[in-house]
Structure 1
């Protein structure tokens, strides 16, 4: 196997995936695959890729209902070349539906058929390649009041979630299927509602195999809240995926000074310690939502808040490991 050309890397720090007791992943976009520095760093340090955007319906579904798969195919080809696993993200999301489905919403039976066909077509295309899928993404209101409104729920009712899981399982019975959401550690009321939904799906026989807790968190989060959330999530006995981890320095009260960086490290340590305590058979993996600080969605032109870039990742803009990367090695080996 040939790896991308190497840049300077601290000789005293082993590749992160070489010491991790569970799959260590990262989100990737198409542009990253063409960046030799990103590719070198990813191949050396992670064992799994998640498509950050290009497996979402917004990209994959054309207006006429056909699939646009070039970028997802490129990502899976890259993963095969370098012997990396792939996690699929995401099949159904309240925030994306597309013109194809909007045109069908007045015909429920046709809509249902198209819904099932889309899910099965995507999952079947990557059967044996994608290890697991975020089947439904962010179904719960952020305050925990219940299910979010969306086109899927409007036409198919609350069972749009169970239907999605059944369709995905039919297309690839070996795939690990997840319900994925955010702020489960920050908002206990949301976590309670989310876990009740998981219990209902299981009671109804849905092939729900795992829970994805995104963990887009900030350095001012109380570290103890992380442990409580992960214990609650693991209590259902399902696979647990820390699916989109980044830790912002720029949210809330934070400024770009020493104290927030120390707080960031404390929160990161809490995440790793809590995940280490999850039974080994339930640890699906931990996925970083950016490899380097400059790759983060928090630093895109649309999302940036304020003039100072955020520093949410384990590697800096030059691809050098930060203290969080070093602490990960200390905590897992």
Structure 2
């Protein structure tokens, strides 16, 4: 049976709650966010010394005033959650569909924000138009280049960076994924080619690789770092590192600091690109709900504290993977989850207070 990507991420999150001396589940350590941030919540973008982002979809931006107001008030950049992925952009006949990403870009322009490009090449997206291409390497490569050029070029001036390669490391860690792109263009060559073409199209923005479970799977983090080293030695225009940060309220204390310390060793900017903190016990959170909620706030504090501790030039941006709990992919997977900074109604939670307070050194 093939496991879904979400199930695999969940399995990685659950590792944080495994027994053993190095995986002992942390308990409530008594730290609490300042409740004053809930009574008078500041705009996150006004207190963050780096880019603050959120993943959004075009429909709620257009139709939901609460959603749109949160997006405009708190964030400097917006990431299309899925409407800039190949699954939406590349049509079966090979044409490109950009209407929803265009709508998000228009919202960004209207509110003085930037668009974060997510994502150009993902192993899990295999459009029919590419799968049916002639086996000729040149034909496939030409189509690959044309897609990247068209997509990056369309958002030049509004996009402030791209996740060029998404999730290139296997879930068990230790090796690169096998996919259509690697089969046709070479396992590392397709990544280098994508980075080169994107850079030629817009040399002004950072280009990243992006992956998850770097905090909970040492073998995967090591493989990710080997890939970074390989690409840099090959001269690829890699401009930053994406650490998705889909984690749980059971994340071991110190895990985020250790992960960011390792990634920062390359001297590249780092993007915490898909941050959420699950409360579901099966994903590694404490089974006691009040403890899990308290620990969630602590984890958000630790994540932001670790990111703030990076050299300023390496703090590219911190992006929440959704606005309200009701918008989260984790909530769609399990209705009991509440992984984000704002509740279903858009009210700030202790997790928000933790982030805001930590940004202001409290």
Normalised by the length of structure 1, the TM-score is 0.93
8 Å CA contact 1:223–1:266 kept in 2: the answer is no
4+ residue runs over 3 A deviation: 252-256
Deviation larger for 262-271 or 235-244: 262-271
Instruction: Render the CA deviation track for 1:175-228: whole Å, top value 9, x for unaligned.
Output: 210000000111011001101100110110100000000000011110211110
Structure 1 residue 323 corresponds to structure 2 residue 353: no
Structure 1 residue 246 corresponds to structure 2 residue 276: yes
Q: Where does structure 2 lack aligned partners over 5 or more consecutive residues? A: 1-36
Question: 1:57 & 1:235 partners in 2: Cα distance?
Answer: 32
Q: Which residue of 2 aligns with 1:66?
A: 95
8 Å CA contact 2:174–2:222 kept in 1: the answer is no
Cα 1:47/1:148, change in 2 over 3 Å: same
Normalised by the length of structure 2, the TM-score is 0.86
Q: Which residue of 1 aligns with 2:321?
A: 289
Q: Where does structure 1 lack aligned partners over 5 or more consecutive residues? A: 1-8
Question: 1:237 & 1:195 partners in 2: Cα distance?
Answer: 12
Question: 1:247 & 1:102 partners in 2: Cα distance?
Answer: 36
Cα 1:249/1:105, change in 2 over 3 Å: farther
Question: 1:220 & 1:17 partners in 2: Cα distance?
Answer: 27
Question: 1:42 & 1:256 partners in 2: Cα distance?
Answer: 32
Question: Post-superposition shift, 1:12?
Answer: 2.1
Question: Post-superposition shift, 1:318?
Answer: 1.1
Q: Which residue of 2 aligns with 1:314?
A: 341
Question: Post-superposition shift, 1:253?
Answer: 5.5
Cα 1:38/1:256, change in 2 over 3 Å: farther
Bigger RCO of structures 1 and 2 (CA < 8 A, at least 6 apart): 2
Q: 1:19 aligns with which of 47, 72, 84?
A: 47
Question: 1:198 & 1:219 partners in 2: Cα distance?
Answer: 29
Question: Post-superposition shift, 1:94?
Answer: 0.2
8 Å CA contact 1:248–1:311 kept in 2: the answer is yes
Cα 1:273/1:205, change in 2 over 3 Å: same
Q: Which residue of 2 aligns with 1:150?
A: 179
Question: 2:308 & 2:134 partners in 1: Cα distance?
Answer: 45
Residues 197-212 of structure 1 correspond to what in structure 2 (within 5 A)?
Answer: 197-212=227-242
Q: Which residue of 2 aligns with 1:5?
A: none
8 Å CA contact 2:248–2:285 kept in 1: the answer is no
Q: Which residue of 2 aligns with 1:31?
A: 59
Structure 1 residue 268 corresponds to structure 2 residue 300: yes
The number of residue pairs the alignment matches comes to 320
